């Protein structure tokens, strides 16, 4: 009978590993994410090899066969080894039996068979192996029906889910992350176990949780992941502020938007236009401070005054807790949240050049991203209303372009420097310099003078005169 090879094993690495395993007299397999991604037709640059023996020895032998100069990294404590082979990242490990002490992340590890190794993996679709043994080279080893589950688009644990999740509670996040990335369903029994074990996420390091969370946000439809996180009870543990967005209050027959669903719609909207994680995070956080700023005002209805200001402060608090980067990425998200109402406000009123210039000045080079966020923020059940807003929004975009071409305030550099002011009036550093610079900037923003050296110079002279300074 013809051998059934489901996976492309034509890459030379598979032959090298097979030969090395043969020399050592052990069985070796490619396993996990690589096999899954091959079957899904997704690109994958990491291959994990598992052998019934020493992963370290197999790595060494394989590297020798490829090229004596390959640098192998050994992680003796974990019994793993890794090297790069062209653009591939390859990792080797001996098959293990593994269990974890409850309440601790310290694994108790013993040598095991391939079956033991597959048993301790997270999902059936991640427990597939390709044999690299001589007599079965390229054959799939699929003890839990992983191939069928790929076809059925199902995430399900190989063992009792309570055991799989208890071994590593991060897998609850991973289940939701894979369901979101791949648009798969989580099997109901597996999902019930996530609900039951949600609290156990607390023993996992924040860095690992955040890595999964960021992957959910980078998926093609992140709302899927947020809905599953909410439904499972994980969201209120890992991101309580977002959970708080849920719900509608009614007063005197007036309700407000459910900010949970609104935010998810904004996030899905922006996802269609950008892969920038931080801009997507800005969508996640743009209304985060609506709950604490909510007020019902007679004659006005529900208001959320200042939610953009408080929200931008909360971004720092949330990023710090989530162990997100605290440099330029944080600043960018804060700026987006702080400014997110501004372009929309412009669509509601007469658009003046000075308002456009101020917006360009404050947003700087991030103006296009801000406009993208604000456009995504236009959500309503009323299709006509959305259409009307989007049209007015296009007008704002067009006018911003015109004003920028004319006045170049997007990367505003004061036309008159403090140095020049000091030289002109023969004065030392002091408050007058700040006053003159600020007045010139204001005059440019208001359109009283152009963003032009000559005009600004003349204004500096007359301002100096008013302040009792004379030209040297
Ligand atoms: N794995 C697991 N439990 C975890 C993490 C990983 O069982 N908490 C196993 C799975 O078999 C997984 C393999 O280790 O396929 C490799 O893990 P990793 O590289 O983190 O994930 P991938 O499945 O390769 O997917 P991705 O690259 O998208 O993270």
Per-residue pLDDT of the chain in tens (472 residues, 90 and over written 9): 444 546 788 899 999 999 999 999 999 999 999 999 999 999 889 999 999 999 999 999 999 999 878 999 999 888 899 999 988 999 999 998 866 565 655 666 788 999 999 999 999 999 999 999 988 999 999 999 999 999 999 999 999 999 999 999 999 999 999 999 999 999 999 999 999 999 999 999 999 999 999 999 999 999 999 999 999 999 999 999 999 999 998 888 888 889 999 999 999 999 999 999 999 999 999 999 999 999 999 888 999 999 999 999 999 999 999 999 999 999 999 999 999 999 888 877 778 889 999 999 999 999 999 999 999 998 888 888 888 888 888 888 999 999 898 888 888 888 999 999 999 999 999 999 999 999 999 999 998 999 899 999 999 999 999 999 988 8
Contact predicate 373/286, CB 8 Å: yes
Are 10 and 147 found together in one domain?
yes
Rounded to a whole number, what is the distance in angstroms from the first to the last CA of the chain? 100
Are 14 and 105 found together in one domain?
yes
**Of all atoms in ligand 1, which is nearest to the CA of residue 181?**
28
212 lines ligand 1 (CB under 6 A): no
Structure confidence at residue 1 (pLDDT):
41
Write out the residue range of the structural domain in which residue 14 sits.
3-152
CA pair distance 435, 421, nearest whole angstrom:
11
Please identify, among 238, 260, 280, the residue that sits at the C-terminal boundary of a domain.
238
Structure confidence at residue 326 (pLDDT):
97
CA pair distance 247, 280, nearest whole angstrom:
22
CA pair distance 26, 423, nearest whole angstrom:
82
In a domain, 323, yes or no: no
CB-CB neighbours of 50 under 10 Å: 24
- How many domains is the chain built from? 3
CATH of the domain at 55: 3.30.460.10
Are 8 and 147 found together in one domain?
yes
In a domain, 397, yes or no: no
Among residues 14, 21, 18, 6, which one has the least CA distance to residue 52? 21
In a domain, 185, yes or no: yes
Are 96 and 57 found together in one domain?
yes
CA pair distance 336, 316, nearest whole angstrom:
13
Are 434 and 454 found together in one domain?
yes
CA pair distance 271, 280, nearest whole angstrom:
7
Task: Retrieve residue 136's tokens.
Answer: 């079965």
Are 148 and 158 found together in one domain?
no
Query: pTM of whole model > 0.85?
Result: yes
Structure confidence at residue 3 (pLDDT):
44
Are 106 and 161 found together in one domain?
no
158 lines ligand 1 (CB under 6 A): no
**Of all atoms in ligand 1, which is nearest to the CA of residue 178?**
28
What is the CA(319)–ligand 1 centre distance, in A? 25
| φ/ψ (deg, to 5) at 254 | -110, 125
* Spatial CB neighbours of 400, under 8 Å, sequence gap ≥ 6: 356, 359, 360, 367, 371
Please identify, among 152, 173, 194, the residue that sits at the C-terminal boundary of a domain.
152
Closest Cα to atom 21, ligand 1: which residue? 33
Are 148 and 159 found together in one domain?
no
Residue 250: is it exposed, middle or buried by C-beta count within 10 angstroms (0-12/13-18/19+)?
A: exposed
Are 114 and 223 found together in one domain?
no
253-283: b (≥16 Cβ within 10 Å) or e: eeebbebbbbbbbbbbbbbeebeeebbbbbb
Please identify, among 187, 222, 238, the residue that sits at the C-terminal boundary of a domain.
238
Are 140 and 189 found together in one domain?
no
In a domain, 361, yes or no: no
Are 103 and 166 found together in one domain?
no
In a domain, 234, yes or no: yes
In a domain, 197, yes or no: yes
CATH of the domain at 221: 1.10.110.30
Are 178 and 89 found together in one domain?
no
What is the CA(174)–ligand 1 centre distance, in A? 9
170 lines ligand 1 (CB under 6 A): yes
Angle at 160 between CA 156 and CA 162, to 5 degrees: 100
32 lines ligand 1 (CB under 6 A): yes
CA pair distance 177, 161, nearest whole angstrom:
16
Among residues 110, 181, 178, which one has the least CA distance to residue 146? 178
Among residues 363, 336, 239, which one has the least CA distance to residue 282? 336
121 lines ligand 1 (CB under 6 A): yes
Closest Cα to atom 26, ligand 1: which residue? 33
Closest Cα to atom 22, ligand 1: which residue? 33
126 lines ligand 1 (CB under 6 A): yes
In a domain, 67, yes or no: yes
In a domain, 320, yes or no: no
């Amino acid at each position: 009978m013809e051998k059934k090879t489901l996976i492309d094993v034509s890459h030379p690495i598979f032959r090298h590993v097979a030969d090395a395993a043969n020399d050592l007299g052990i069985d070796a397999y490619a396993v996990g994410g690589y096999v899954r991604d091959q079957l899904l037709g997704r690109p994958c640059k990491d291959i994990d090899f598992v052998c019934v023996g020493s992963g370290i020895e197999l790595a060494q032998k394989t590297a020798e066969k490829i090229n004596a100069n390959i640098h192998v990294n050994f992680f003796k404590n974990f019994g793993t080894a890794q090297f790069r082979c062209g653009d591939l990242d390859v990792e080797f490990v001996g098959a293990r039996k593994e269990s974890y002490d409850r309440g601790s992340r310290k694994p108790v590890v013993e040598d095991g068979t391939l079956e033991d190794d597959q048993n301790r993996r997270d999902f059936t679709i991640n427990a597939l192996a390709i044999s690299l043994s001589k007599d079965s080279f390229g054959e799939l080893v699929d003890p839990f029906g992983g191939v069928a589950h790929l076809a059925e688009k199902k995430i399900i644990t190989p063992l009792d889910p309570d055991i799989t999740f208890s071994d590593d509670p991060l897998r609850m996040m991973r289940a939701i992350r894979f369901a979101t990335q791949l648009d798969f369903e989580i099997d109901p029994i597996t999902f019930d176990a996530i609900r039951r074990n949600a609290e156990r996420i607390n023993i996992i390091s924040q860095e690992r949780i955040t890595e999964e969370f960021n992957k959910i946000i980078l998926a093609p439809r992140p709302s899927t992941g947020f809905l599953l996180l909410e439904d499972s009870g994980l969201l209120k543990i890992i991101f309580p502020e977002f959970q708080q967005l849920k719900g509608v209050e009614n007063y005197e027959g007036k309700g407000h938007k459910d900010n949970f669903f609104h935010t998810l719609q904004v996030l899905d909207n922006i996802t269609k236009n950008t892969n920038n994680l931080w801009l997507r995070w800005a969508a996640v956080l743009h209304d985060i401070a609506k709950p604490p700023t909510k007020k019902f005002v007679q004659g006005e209805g529900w208001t959320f005054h200042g939610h953009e200001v408080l929200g931008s402060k909360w971004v720092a608090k949330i990023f710090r807790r989530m162990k997100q980067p605290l440099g330029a990425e944080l600043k960018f998200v804060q700026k987006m949240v702080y400014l997110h109402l501004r372009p929309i406000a412009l669509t509601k009123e007469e658009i003046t050049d000075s308002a456009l210039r101020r917006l360009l000045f404050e947003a700087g080079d991030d103006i296009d991203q801000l406009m993208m966020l604000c456009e995504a923020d236009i959500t309503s059940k009323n299709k006509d209303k959305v259409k009307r807003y989007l049209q007015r929004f296009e007008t704002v975009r067009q006018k911003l372009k015109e004003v920028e071409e004319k006045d170049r305030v997007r990367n505003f550099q004061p036309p008159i420097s403090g140095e020049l002011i000091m030289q002109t009036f023969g004065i030392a550093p002091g408050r007058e310099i700040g006053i003159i610079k600020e007045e010139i900037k204001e005059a440019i923003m208001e359109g009283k003078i152009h963003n032009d050296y000559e005009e600004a110079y003349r204004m500096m002279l007359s301002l100096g005169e008013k302040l009792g300074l004379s030209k040297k």
